[in-house]
Structure 1
Amino acid sequence: MLLTQGGLVTRLNAAAVRLWGVPQDRAAGRPVLEVVRRHTLETLLERGGELELEAGGRTLRCTATRDHEGTGEYAALIVEDITEHRRREAELREATAVLSHEFRTPVAALRGVLEALEYDMPDDLAQNFVRQGLQETERLARLVEDLAVGFRPTRARTLALAEAFARAERLLGSELSARQASLSFGQDYLVRADPDKLLQVLLNLIENALKYGPPGQPVQVVTTLRGTWVEVCVLDRGVPLNDTESLFRAHTRGRAATGQGSGMGLYIVRSIVQGWGGQVWVERQGDHNAFCFTLPGVAGIGEPR
């Protein structure tokens, strides 16, 4: 807080001394501008009101009040550091965008299951659809839990990559048929990951390959052992990509992107992969775009399954 009379500083509290780096004894009696060194704050004190400004990497809310009673003209400048508040607001907006994106796949899968169950079918086939619906319902429940516990993987276990591949292929079945595309997977390995998070990474990358690759072309998922890490690359025959690093930023879409989209898919991929300590990148392999990521293996992963 800073107090003035007749445009001259009369008092600074300890927080104001730290903020502007001017001790109380040097500030007293000096013009406001010489202390705060910002014309916007000088004007604010003259007129009253409120504004936000950035200073030293912090976000400050500045409020000026005036008192015209008596013979002197008094004013007070109250400064509140709202950096953390603004950071939490940004995180909330980001979390909302992430959840919106992640909810789409299980919701679409449940819709497909319910639509299928409207028709007469053999009991064993109906039970298979019911199991799929229950699995996706459980996945939705875990996403709701993520509202409280954040988005870093928290349920890691040892699993075979083939388990995640099979689940992704089943969920993408209708899209593969619609695009007359095939999907192939590489060597199986044991890895350590959250199964739902790994599935989300695979779905995002394979869906992108189907969407931006030529219709009817195969999508390949290639796996390679790299020391104690397993590298997974999703290959498509789309046009070569430029400025690939920007693709992983929030709310960013490639130049070839068409239709509606949040621009969050690859950002989610990077967030998940970095959460388990891996890396994610895009490179050109021959006539393919390769979207690659790494995930940790378990003891003995040098033995492919």
Structure 2
Amino acid sequence: MTPVPAPRTDAWMDALPQAVLLFEAGSGRPDALIVTRVNAAAVRLWGVPQARAAGRPLLEIVRRHTLEALAERGGELELEAGGRTLRCTAVRAAEGQAGALIVDDLTHHRRREAELREATAVLSHEFRTPVTGLRGVLEALEYDMPPDLAQSFVRQGLQEVERLARLVEDLAVGFRPTRARTLPLAEAFARAERLLTPELTARHTALTFGPDHLVRADPDKLLQVLLNLIENALKYGPPGQPVEVGTRLRGTWVEVAVLDHGPPLGETDSLFLAHTRGPHASGQGSGMGLYIVRSIVHGWGGQAWTERRGERNAFCFTLPGAGGTL
């Protein structure tokens, strides 16, 4: 009968998610560290199988003087290697005993942290608009006014409360599918103009809109895109110069362009990256506005870009059309 081989006493090492490399001081060269064992995760990390790793100098396996020095002195460090973030811990080889180099791949963890920071920045930016709208409504209601006008402000405030409630729900359960419906662009234009009236008045700026079209979109997301682009135009265009929101059909899509009289922007692709601001930006800002615009527009399958049209900057996006001009 063929004898059953005894299980390896160090087989547990191969079950560890961390890369583990055991080493000892070389007898011929006391200053050299010699590998005695690598586990399965270490084989995947450094691409050297156990049979070839055992008996070789540690530096030949890890190929980094930083890790060799860490193994010699012990301790912990974090480094970037091959697009991955690695946390490395070393236990020095005491006399007559093996040392260990343990490497934990934190790449996925760091990516999740970055995604959470990004989501937090996006949400804080989206909260700003309804909060600003509510502040304006409450400030207006402090003054005596005709009942019908007061009722109009109350309705506007309730709209913003509903938007806040939806954002809170998103924060609690994650981003849900968009609540798309067919609507006239004029509906979104009217909401945006109403919310921006105080700023338009303060800047003595006129806001005009192009022909109406039926579109298919989430009304709140469409409003968020319009507010971001029109607020940018007001912020970076000369005071007193009009801002135009142009529209036109492009096949089955509708193009919306916000045009301002600001200075030429030069290279513009980077403007839509997260935490990026234009060359003429001043004051405080998160650099998230155009990133949010492009993310929302891509979500309904459209495109977002900017270009120079004559003497004006045009910030453009497309959204699905739903049946011609109104």
TM-score when scaled to structure 2? 0.89
Which whole-Å CA distance do the structure 1 matches of 2:283 and 2:224 have between them? 21
1:151-181, Cα deviation, whole Å (9 max, x unpaired)? 5762112111111101000000111111111
**Which residue of structure 2 lines up, in the alignment, with residue 58 of structure 1?**
84
1:121-147, Cα deviation, whole Å (9 max, x unpaired)? 222211111111111011111112222
1:234-292, Cα deviation, whole Å (9 max, x unpaired)? 00111111111111111111111112111111111111111111111111111111000
Is 1:260 aligned to 2:279, yes or no? no
Which whole-Å CA distance do the structure 2 matches of 1:118 and 1:204 have between them? 28
Which whole-Å CA distance do the structure 2 matches of 1:151 and 1:233 have between them? 27
**Does the residue aligned with 2:164 lie in a helix, a strand or coil?**
helix
**Does the residue aligned with 2:325 lie in a helix, a strand or coil?**
coil
Which whole-Å CA distance do the structure 2 matches of 1:88 and 1:274 have between them? 22
**Which residue of structure 2 lines up, in the alignment, with residue 45 of structure 1?**
71
Which whole-Å CA distance do the structure 2 matches of 1:8 and 1:245 have between them? 51
**Which residue of structure 2 lines up, in the alignment, with residue 23 of structure 1?**
49
Is 1:233 aligned to 2:257, yes or no? yes
**Which residue of structure 2 lines up, in the alignment, with residue 216 of structure 1?**
240
**Which residue of structure 2 lines up, in the alignment, with residue 98 of structure 1?**
122
Deviation (angstroms), 1:190:
1.3
> Structure 2, unaligned stretches of length 5 or more?
1-19, 26-32
Greater radius of gyration (CA):
2
Is 1:80 aligned to 2:108, yes or no? no
Identical counterparts, % of pairs: 80
**Does the residue aligned with 1:207 lie in a helix, a strand or coil?**
helix
Deviation (angstroms), 1:66:
2.9
Tell me which of the two structures has the higher relative contact order, counting C-alpha pairs closer than 8 angstroms and 6 or more residues apart.
1
Which whole-Å CA distance do the structure 2 matches of 1:95 and 1:48 have between them? 38
Deviation (angstroms), 1:84:
1.1
**Which residue of structure 1 lines up, in the alignment, with residue 23 of structure 2?**
4
Which whole-Å CA distance do the structure 2 matches of 1:150 and 1:297 have between them? 28
Deviation (angstroms), 1:150:
4.5
Is 1:244 aligned to 2:268, yes or no? yes
**Does the residue aligned with 1:77 lie in a helix, a strand or coil?**
strand
**Does the residue aligned with 1:257 lie in a helix, a strand or coil?**
coil
> Structure 1, unaligned stretches of length 5 or more?
none
CA distance 1:49–1:34, change in 2 (3 Å): same
CA distance 1:113–1:265, change in 2 (3 Å): same
Deviation (angstroms), 1:79:
1.4
Q: Is the 8 A contact 2:24 2:93 kept in 1?
A: no
Over the aligned positions, Cα root-mean-square deviation in angstroms equals 1.4
Is 1:112 aligned to 2:136, yes or no? yes
Number of residues of Structure 1 aligned to a counterpart in Structure 2: 300
Q: Is the 8 A contact 2:244 2:260 kept in 1?
A: yes
**Which residue of structure 1 lines up, in the alignment, with residue 10 of structure 2?**
none
**Does the residue aligned with 1:172 lie in a helix, a strand or coil?**
helix
**Which residue of structure 2 lines up, in the alignment, with residue 162 of structure 1?**
186
Is 1:132 aligned to 2:151, yes or no? no
Is 1:122 aligned to 2:143, yes or no? no
AA of the residue aligned to 2:22: L
